[in-house]
Amino acid sequence: MVTSAPPIVEVAELHVRYGRCAALKGITLDVRRNEILGIIGPAQSGKTTLLKTINRTIDDVPGAVVTGTVKVEGKDVRQVEDVFALRRKIGMVAPLPVGLPLSIFDNVAFAPRMAGVRNRRELAERVERCLRQAALWDEVKDRLDSLGTKLSGGQQQRLTIARALSHDPEILCLDEFSIAIDPVTTMRIEDVLKELRTRITIILVTNLIQQARRLAGRTAFLLNGELVELGRTEVIFSDNPANRKTYEYVNGIFG
């Protein structure tokens, strides 16, 4: 589904360097509200770096130099004083599930508590809602006091998604979420994302190009830190994308 909504994220002439290595070279693109934007490309294309500039976790990378502009809801993220408020607005799910050494309940309740939510009933309602949104509630509702780290890999990844949703983000960034989980669980999470896109904006970095084809309304193709093409997903995966390199990548000729 392609939305005609105005952009919630605007990236303009974005350059990122790690020392002498240029990770992004003049990227310009937008992400529209309530769309799934797929981002594809080979390793070392700058996909993860792009996500890090949006929620400013790039700040934590030693030696990273950023120029250009990234705006979220019209505000330059590099001028935001409360970076933690920015990160609450932009949920992030890493390639490998990173469970906190806490119970399942406390994994999901952690962020709301840090934001000042103390009412037990409100916390319980939020935990249930987020676990349901992550398609995990029915599997764990009778063992919420169990350690989250004892769940299977696929369950832990869905717990990570629930945790990312727990602070009601407006944008959800997924960085190759399916890299370490089985195909059945991957499809379950994809169904979750299709449901979530009616409420939030999703930026999907994926090493599975067919995943972008299934989920994304638009897809961006990055190569060696440059944006080769951004367009409707059906065009990107057609026999006639705007750039020959796009055709070669999505058809497995290289990458």
- Does 234 fall in a domain? yes
Residues 6+ apart with CB under 8 A from 57: 51, 87, 92
This prediction has a pTM of 0.92
- Does 63 fall in a domain? yes
User: Quick one: pLDDT at residue 255?
Assistant: 75
H helices of 115-243, in order, are 120-133, 137-140, 153-165, 183-196, 209-215, 233-236
Is 114 a residue whose pLDDT tops 80? yes
- Does 84 fall in a domain? yes
- Does 183 fall in a domain? yes
Is 2 a residue whose pLDDT tops 80? no
Structural domain boundaries enclosing 232 = 7-97+170-250
Within 13 Å, how many C-alpha atoms sit on residue 234's CB side? 2
User: What CATH number corresponds to the domain at position 73?
Assistant: 3.40.50.300
Percent of the chain with pLDDT strictly greater than 90: 77
User: Quick one: pLDDT at residue 170?
Assistant: 95
Q: What mean pLDDT, rounded, does the chain reach?
A: 93
Q: If you average pLDDT over residues 82-95, what whole number do you get?
A: 90
With CA atoms as reference, report the closest residue to 11 among 236, 249, 222: 222
User: Quick one: pLDDT at residue 1?
Assistant: 62
Which residue, chain included where needed, has tokens 């440059």?
226
Q: How many independent structural domains does the chain possess?
A: 1
- Does 230 fall in a domain? yes
